[in-house]
Every structure is written in C-alpha cells, then in structure tokens.
Structure 1
Amino acid sequence: MSSQPQISADSVIDLVEGLARAGRVAQRVLARMPAPAKEQALRLAAAALRRAEPEILAANARDVASAETNGLSGALLDRLRLDSGRLAAMVEAVEQVAGLPDPVGEVIDSATRPNGMVLQRVRVPIGLIGIIYESRPNVTADAAALCVRSGNAVLLRGGSEAVHSNRAIHQALVAGLTEAGVPADAVQLLPTQDRAAVGAMLTAAGLIDMIVPRGGKSLVARVQADARVPVLAHLDGINHTYVDHAADPARAAAIVFNAKLRRTGVCGSMETLLIDATYPDPHGLIAPLLDAGCELRGDARARAIDPRIGPAGANDWDTEYLDAILAVAVVDGLEEALGHIARHSSGHTDAIVTEDQAAADRFLSEVDSAIVMHNASSQFADGGEFGLGAEIGIATGRLHARGPVALEGLTTYKWLVRGSGQIRP
C-alpha cells in the first residue's frame, strides 16, 4: 500500500461532497442515454480492461505482495488475487451486463382507473450509489458495469489492500466509457484511503442515494450503525447444506465437497453440514473432506462418524470461516434440520440434498433465506451464475432487494399518471 499524506477531516468531507455532486451531475446525463449507447459504452470498457491486462496484473501483484507482508488472511488473499483467468472472467462479466436488457423504462404494471386515468409503474435509476468494499478488485468492474447499465452513477471506495488494483481497473474502465460519451464522473474512485472518507460517505444524505457495503462483519456493522443514507447490506454467509435420509449418496458427496472446497473464501461457501441420522453413508460425505485437508468440527454424533473430527464449540454454528473449516451436526430428520437453520443461518444461502420431493418442497418453502437450493452446491450463490451478468452483493435483508443484487436491484420506480382533464370531486 502506498503512503499518502494525511488530510484534515474537513478536507475529506469536502472531497467526498465534491465527488458526490459531480457524480449527481453525471448521473443526469447517464440517465438520458439510450440503452444502445450504454451497451456500447460497456463493451468499450470491457475492451479497455482487456488491453490493460499487463498493467492490472502488475498492480495486483504489488497489492498481493504487500498483503502477504502484512499478514492478510488466506481467504482475503484469495479474494484479492487476480490472474489472467480471473481478469478474463471480470471482462466477460462486463460484457454480459452490456448484453442484458436495460431495466430503465421497463413498465412494471399498469392500470386504467374508472375515471379514465392511466397509471403505470416504471423502473428508474436510484441515482448515485456509494459502494464501500474490501479485498475484491472485481467489485470495481462489476459495480461500474451494473451502475452504468442501470443509469446510476457510482462512487467507489475500495479497501487499502487492493488500492493499486482498483486504480488500474478504474482507469481502464473510465477510458472505455468516456470513449462512448459516458461522463467520467459517472464512475468515480475515491482518491484517498483515509478512513474518514468512509464516514463522509455514510453521512452524505441528500448526495448519495444508497450505500452498498461489501466486506467483513466489522465493515458492515460500522456502515449499518453510522449510515445516514439507506444501506443495502451483504451480511455473513453462514450457509448450510442438509443431507436428507433420501439423498442419493453419489450426488450428495459431490455437492458437499464442492460446496465447501471449490473456493473456501467466497460468500457462498458451505459453513455447516447437517446430516440426517438415518442417512446411509455419512462417512462418504466426511472422508473426502478430511482427506483433502479440511478441518471438521462436530457434535458428538458427528464425531462418531470419523475420529479425525474435532469437537465443535458453541460459536462454530455461527461462524463464517471462509476457510477449509466446516461445522458438522447429525440431526433427527428434516424438522430438526429446519430448526437448526432457523437458529443459526445468516439468511444467505441454504441447501437440501434429497430425492424426496415433498421434503425438498417443504425445505424450499420454510427456510427463510435469500437463496434456498435443492440438489445444488451453495457455490452457485453468485449473480453471474444466476444469469444476472454480475452482482454488487447478495442482500440478506427483506426490503428492496434480496439475493444477488444486479440491475433490477439498482432501480426503483415512479408512477406515471396520464389523464385527460380529470379533476377530483
């Protein structure tokens, strides 16, 4: 991380307010751009990212080296690190967003009143979105693409550990966007890592219309506690997979292994495995994980499956490990599994593996999480995998947007009323 001169708190507030005002001006221009122009702008931005691969990877290598020196955790290092494959996926995500239908102007519903007035609800941009994130340089590209496509300006504040990566990605994006006529101020990256800038964003009511935090529990907690701007929160991924007694053993073993170990540092990673007490092959679920180096912590019945399983503490059922660590419990059927999930799930993603359709239907109906799955790995909890092109987070609340937040989640609506001279009696 590069050293920066300290600036006063008042100067940070002035900086954020100035960027926000410029972003709002740019957003009004962006909101008037037709869908084909926004699509072309994003395709040019993707091409600019592709051309800038050497500079982006060099900047990322600098960030990774600094993070390793500073002792960043393995999970955060995994989220930080870019290579040619991950950069190509980033570019592809921008291109996918470019090709999605434009949500702006979509008529959600309409009705004609008895007096002849015609009412419509129409999707419109939210305005200026502030995004505060840690470690993930891909958020810079994903957020910019989604905001531009949905007619929103964006003010980005990335983490210090990814500062050089974010700047290189941002520079390439803006070069492509401006080539197509998008104002440069429509996608801004805070030029300072001063922590006071976060506070300035959180209190910029009337300038920033919504804040989206992407990061650890402490960041999200601070944002929710201090914000004077509406927040769309992405909370912990304490995700469960329940293997029912009627699960196919081969299918269950493959799903469980993938859900935990495909990438342990992503928010869709399984953190707790629940096994029905009458499931015929529990060792077939456990042994591959242990053999691959995953640490398992279980209750008494789980530990009886394999002596390599250590004891689980009370906190293990409420921990997002983001590492090769897994909590395991044996439960007496679907009812007990549902109760465990209701007590410990963070509302992100929970899954059942079963060939019993009635059990699957009950699980899908009763588990109150943003994403509920049947016979699929929780690692699919991702906007790209859902056909959304990209996401700026998975919202675990119940208001405005839930699950992967993409184009639709970055819009609101307004009512259009068309009359022919009606007056109210």
Structure 2
Amino acid sequence: MTSQKPIFEAARHAARSLALRSDEQISSLLRHVADAVDRNAAEILEANSRDLSRMAEDNPMRDRLQLTPERISDITSDMRTVASLPSPLGRVLSSTVRPNGMKIDKVSVPFGVIGVVYEARPNVTLDIFSLCMKAGSACLLKGGSEAYNTNECIVTLVRDTLIQQGWDEATVTLMPPSHEATTEMLNAVGYVDLVIPRGSKKLIEYVRDTARVPVIETGAGVCHTYFHESGDIKKGRDIVFNAKTRRVSVCNALDTLVIDRSRLDALVEICSQLATKNVTIYADDEAYAVLYGKYPHLCHATESDFGREWLDYKMSIATVEGIDEAINFINEHTSRHSECIVSEDKAAVDRFLKEVDAACVYANVSTSFTDGGQFGFGAEIGISTQKLHARGPMGIPEITTYKYIITGDGQTRW
C-alpha cells in the first residue's frame, strides 16, 4: 500500500501558508472558486451522471448523489455567502490583566488540517472546502466511492483555481478511494488536527472507534415529531409532511411521529398528505387501528421500527399517554439530532424544550430546518450530536480552536 504521508505533509505545509493569508484574500479566493464551478457546471454534471449510472433508479440515496443545475447554483450561492461572513479568526474570546501586569488574551485560531470522511453527497465537497478555507484550515476529503467521479471533477476545478490564483493546491486534497487511505488518515497523528465523519451510523462508528486523531462526532438523524394533546391539526399535518417528504435521504428528515392517545382522532388528517408521496407508515397497534382502511400504505410496526433512521419514504408512528411518556420515548430512541413538539400549550412546550436531549429542539417548526444554511451559517461541515466543543450544525466558528496569547514587560516567576 502506498503511504499517504506525502499528502499529509503537503496539507500541513499548505495550512501554515494559509495562516498568513488575510480574510480578504480568502474571501476573494472563494468567490473565484464559485465562479469556476458555475462556468464548469456542465462538466460537473457529466461526471455526476457517470456516478448516477452506477446506482439503481429506486435507491433513496440517489437523491443525495444527484446534482442538478439548480443544486450547483445553490452550492455556489452558499459559497459566496460563506465568503461574505465575518472571519472567525483572530477574535479575542476573553481578555484579562493579571496583578503583575501580564495580559492574557484567548484568541480564536485555525485547527490547521481538517479531514472529513463522508458518503455520497458531492455538494458536501464544496461546503467543506469553503468552510475550512474561511476558518483558515487545509482540508483532506474522503468522499464515498459512489460519488468519486463527481468529487474528483470538483476538486480538480478547485485545485486548478488555487494554482491560477497563486495558492498552494494542497489546501484541498481528495484522498484516494481506498479503505486503507481512510485508516491512515485517521491515524495521522501530528499531521491531521481534526477528523469529522458525515454519513451513516456505521461510518461514524468506524471513524470514532479507529481514529487516533481528535474526532467531532456527527450523528445519524433519528428525528421525531410529537403531536401534543393541544396540537393544532393544520400545523401538525404541514410539519409532518414537510419534515418527512422534503428530502427523505437527509439526516433532518422525520422518522417517527409520536402522538398523544387523546389526539388519535386527528391522525388521519395529520397523515393525509403523506399518501400523495406514497409514504409507507409503520404504525403501532393503536395508530394502525385508526388508520386502517383510511391510509393506503400501512404496516404493523415492530420494535425495530422505532429509533430507526429510514432515509426513505417510510416512517413509524408511536402512541403515548401524555407528555411524560412522549419525552421518555423520544429520549430513549433519539440520536440526539433534531426533535419537534407540535403544541399550543406553553408549559408543555417549555418542558419539551428543556427535557428532550438533542442538539436541535423545535416547537411548531419542521425539523427540516436543521441545516447550516438555514441557521445563517452559509453552509455546514456537519451536524454534531455530541456535547464537547460543538453541537448542532457546525459553521465556521465551530471549526476553529483557540490559543492563549500572553504579553508583558519582563515578568518572571520564581
């Protein structure tokens, strides 16, 4: 196996040179890359079509893989948004002067080299590059083999632009598609400062369990919407439909509707729009009895249908007795990604927001908004479901670290 050490050394060198660039230079470079992507959209789409040709038409992951002219335009728009954001670097997070006159500033700085392991979502390639650049870090990209042609085309365009603009092309590198290359990156102590996995539970667990370098763990999106006894039917219907069907292959899509037993009479209406998208519902016994004969795509749920990320036109329904049981059910089955309550009762909403343990907790809003762009971050490098350093959609501030800068006038300590 060919060692990836030269790649890691080049990325480390690029990160040091990147630290000398001004925010204005970084933002200008991002705009140049966005322009290059727009100009070469047809080339990217052709590469994407080769990747799509190897995936079954009925595979729900196809939506993640597919690029369109509109999606490319959205991606470059996000890149320009990232370019326009204030720099996250050089911010004085805290400052103090000690009794001896020594000044201590806590200042935000780049990580250095960030590796990201992700699956068949080529839009993520440009999101990662733009966010890492703005945060002053070089990036190593390990995308899924399903999207290799698309990712290779995109990264080649980016590196060509870097060279044309007088930058180090190793600022961004697409790692070889082998499993061995991934493992080597996860163990590149002294070269890689941080690794972020994005994808399935299996991928995330592999990165977490294998890495010897620091990891920010993103998580699978097992998302619930709880329809409380005071819930508004129209809000509930619209939120459930949007959260489930906007894009079924993304991590913020609805997986389980939790409904109060006292509101089962509203279930047919809440689920009515789902039938237009042929969503299969796996309902517990009580919900099944209500929907039987009134909803066309209905199955009996088993225990394995709860706590499951469907990533498809499928979802489950669980019936509960009141908010205590709902909160307990969600906390038992959540992946700590995004959870929602539909309720007109302020006390119930307050309890839900405080007691549900997730990175993003919603009241009367679709979970489909868990997204860096929707949060005003321009884009995201992932959704962190852990509690150390970063949580929820991670934008540019979350992929910086800090150091203490101490200045004085000859102070010594004995």
Q: TM-score range by the shorter chain?
A: over 0.9
Whole-Å separation in 2 of the counterparts to 1:241 and 1:140: 30
Aligned to 1:409: 398
- Deviation of the 1:215 alpha carbon: 1.8
Asked if 1:156 is matched to 2:141, the reply is: yes
- What is the TM-score when the length of structure 2 is the normalising length? 0.96
Structure 1's unaligned 5+ residue stretches are 1-8
Runs (4+) of structure 1 moved beyond 6 Å?
A: none
Aligned to 1:4: none
Asked if 1:166 is matched to 2:151, the reply is: yes
Q: Give 2:332's match in structure 1, choosing from 343, 346, 349.
A: 343
Q: Give 2:105's match in structure 1, choosing from 110, 120, 142.
A: 120
- Deviation of the 1:401 alpha carbon: 1.0
Q: What amino acid maps onto 1:315 in structure 2? A: S
Q: Give 1:32's match in structure 2, choosing from 6, 13, 20.
A: 20
Aligned to 2:85: 100
- Deviation of the 1:298 alpha carbon: 1.3
Aligned to 2:5: 17
The answer (yes or no) to whether the contact 1:241–1:272 under 8 Å persists in 2 is yes
The answer (yes or no) to whether the contact 2:342–2:363 under 8 Å persists in 1 is yes
Q: What amino acid maps onto 1:228 in structure 2? A: R
Q: Give 1:55's match in structure 2, choosing from 43, 61, 73.
A: 43
- Deviation of the 1:110 alpha carbon: 1.3
Aligned to 2:29: 41
Whole-Å separation in 2 of the counterparts to 1:323 and 1:276: 25
Percent of paired sites with the same residue = 40
Q: Give 1:224's match in structure 2, choosing from 208, 232, 236.
A: 208
Q: How does 1:193-232 map to 2 (within 5 A)?
A: 193-232=177-216
Q: Give 2:285's match in structure 1, choosing from 293, 300, 305.
A: 300
Aligned to 2:303: 314
Alignment deviations for residues 102-149 of structure 1 (CA, whole Å, 9 cap, x no partner) = 101011111222332222111000110111111000111000000111
Whole-Å separation in 2 of the counterparts to 1:220 and 1:314: 23
Aligned to 1:76: 61
- Deviation of the 1:289 alpha carbon: 1.5
- Number of equivalent positions: 409
Aligned to 2:409: 420
Q: What amino acid maps onto 2:32 in structure 1? A: L
Alignment deviations for residues 82-104 of structure 1 (CA, whole Å, 9 cap, x no partner) = 01011111111111111111101
- What is the TM-score when the length of structure 1 is the normalising length? 0.93
Whole-Å separation in 2 of the counterparts to 1:351 and 1:147: 31
Whole-Å separation in 2 of the counterparts to 1:177 and 1:402: 31
Aligned to 1:287: 272
- Deviation of the 1:382 alpha carbon: 0.6
- Deviation of the 1:67 alpha carbon: 2.0
Q: CA RMSD in A?
A: 1.4
Between stretches 166-175 and 156-165, larger displacement belongs to 166-175
Q: What amino acid maps onto 1:139 in structure 2? A: V
Whole-Å separation in 2 of the counterparts to 1:109 and 1:178: 38
Alignment deviations for residues 260-309 of structure 1 (CA, whole Å, 9 cap, x no partner) = 01111010001010111223622211222234311111111111221143
Whole-Å separation in 1 of the counterparts to 2:318 and 2:286: 7
SS in 1 for 2:70: helix
Q: What amino acid maps onto 1:288 in structure 2? A: Q
Q: What amino acid maps onto 1:252 in structure 2? A: G
The answer (yes or no) to whether the contact 2:234–2:270 under 8 Å persists in 1 is no
Whole-Å separation in 2 of the counterparts to 1:175 and 1:101: 26
- Deviation of the 1:177 alpha carbon: 3.2
- CA distance 1:187–1:300, shift in 2 (3 Å): same
Q: What amino acid maps onto 1:245 in structure 2? A: E
The answer (yes or no) to whether the contact 2:216–2:384 under 8 Å persists in 1 is yes
Aligned to 2:55: 67
Whole-Å separation in 1 of the counterparts to 2:383 and 2:411: 44
The answer (yes or no) to whether the contact 1:391–1:406 under 8 Å persists in 2 is yes
- Deviation of the 1:313 alpha carbon: 0.8
Q: What amino acid maps onto 1:267 in structure 2? A: C
Whole-Å separation in 1 of the counterparts to 2:76 and 2:313: 29
Asked if 1:395 is matched to 2:384, the reply is: yes
